[in-house]
Amino acid sequence: MAFDIIGLAILVIFIIVGIVILVKIGGLLLRILLHVILGWIFLVLVNLFPYVNIPINILTILVAGFGGVFGVILMLIAQALGFNLAI
């Protein structure tokens, strides 16, 4: 009887720890997804300006996706310095 209660308590503790870990990982994945989406939106919005011509291809989408807003700013700086971002 005592072993059943102890076993149940240990199981409940493991379940609680597992749920906490999943929430932390889920929050991290949600932040990464939000970062990617904001990067893509920012890339499209920046391309609406007449003096900005960052081509939308696989390279720029990956940089904007993984770099987010900072990736788009990096591509703006690269374009201002004269780098060609077209593949």
Question: For residue range 30-70, what is the model confidence (pLDDT) as tens digits?
Answer: 888 888 888 888 888 888 888 888 888 888 888 888 888 88
Query: Model-level pTM greater than 0.95?
Result: no
Position 59 in a domain: yes
Give pLDDT, residue 82. Answer: 86
Q: Does the residue 41 lie in any domain? A: yes
Q: Where are the alpha helices (DSSP H) in the chain?
A: 2-46, 58-80
Range of the domain at 36: 2-80
Domains in the chain, number: 1
Ramachandran category for residue 68: left, alpha or beta (phi over 0 → left; psi -120 to 50 → alpha): left
Average pLDDT rounded to a whole number, residues 66-83: 88
* Residue 85, domain member (yes or no): no
> How far does the chain reach from its first CA to its final CA, in angstroms?
70
40, part of any domain: yes
Does residue 86 lie in a domain region?
Answer: no
| Long-range CB contacts for residues 6-12, cutoff 8 Å, separation at least 24 | none
Nearest Cα to 64, choosing from 33, 86, 43, 87? 43
